[in-house]
Amino acid sequence: MLRNRLIDGVRRLKPILCGGQSLRSLSNGATSKLTTIEVDDRSGIATLSMNLPPVNTLTMELMHDLIDSINQIESNKSRGLILTSSNDKVFSAGLDLNEMLNPEVERLRLFWTRFQDLWLALHLCCLPTAAAINGHSPAAGCVLATACEYRVMLPNLFIGIHATRFSFVISKWMMNSYQSVLPRRVVERALNQGKLFATQEALNVGLVDEIACSKEEALSKCAAFIATFDKTNPVARCLTKRMCREPDVRELLQDRAADLKECVDYVTTPLFQEGLCAHLEGLKKRK
């Protein structure tokens, strides 16, 4: 029951749940470079594109720019937010795994906190959100897509959280994004297998909502979804969305430090370091 706390947040027109105190200062006066925002003057919908070649790896910087852009779009009272990639092969390749290889603990803490911030900003964004998935979307790429309210995907791509394949154990809040769109039985099996779903499979289980033949069509389907909220009161919609998502974020918001500690403890085990090393070697060979 966080309606009151949320109302306060909405009243102040600044989501209280999205941390970001430090982020705002970081972004002071800076132009966002790794993301672009295009607002359609007619529809009022903002398209947020990840633009970090070659594969939109979620680096510290890209995550910063994403959070900054989400906050900016939210405060400009856009009618909705569409997340996409300026790269037609990869939506996002997921977290920057180099930050997890032999990490310096303080840097790792900053990196994970940034990812928590990004997920909270997108998962609790007051605006209607949709993902136009115009490229592969593995791991944290999939987490971002499932944090949106709607997903349209192009054919012949894959999407999924394949963390167990590189020895990683995701946090519960990441699982919750999966659980918010997939049946419980599918979630457990897919996470355990580290399954990557082809576009059609993803549609069949409900991981994506529609298939589109082109990026243009994907964007237009996302816009049509956002238009389904036209008759609703934006504040009531925002509070309702957050009520629905409150169980997903409750543990994280109550104890972010615990999640951070768990992550650091696990990432620094020899078990994970060896698994990650082998995975990165495999990726190099494939190139």
Among 36, 240, 268, 273, binds a copy of itself (CB under 8 A): 240
Among 26, 30, 169, 283, binds a copy of itself (CB under 8 A): 169
Q: Are 211 and 155 in contact (CB under 8 A)?
A: yes
- Decide whether 26 or 271 has the Cβ nearer to a copy of itself: 271
Q: Are 9 and 124 in contact (CB under 8 A)?
A: no
* CA gap 105, 32 in Å, rounded: 27
- Decide whether 33 or 261 has the Cβ nearer to a copy of itself: 261
Whether the upstream peptide bond of residue 54 has omega within 30° of 0, thus cis, is yes
Rg of the chain taking only CA atoms, in angstroms: 18
Smallest gap from Cβ 188 to a copy of itself, in A, equals 4
Smallest gap from Cβ 228 to a copy of itself, in A, equals 5
Strand-pair category, 210-211 with 151-153: parallel
Q: Which pair of tokens denotes residue 84?
A: 């996409």
Smallest gap from Cβ 42 to a copy of itself, in A, equals 22
Asked whether position 281 contacts a copy of itself by CB under 8 A, the answer is no
129: nearest Cα among 70, 177, 52: 70
Asked whether position 220 contacts a copy of itself by CB under 8 A, the answer is no
Q: What angle do CA 89, 158, 229 make, to 5 degrees?
A: 90
Chain positions contacting a copy of itself, by CB under 8 A: 1, 3-4, 7, 128, 149-150, 163-172, 175, 179-185, 187-189, 191-194, 206, 228-229, 231-233, 235-237, 239-241, 243-246, 251, 255, 258-259, 261-262, 265-266, 269, 271-272, 275
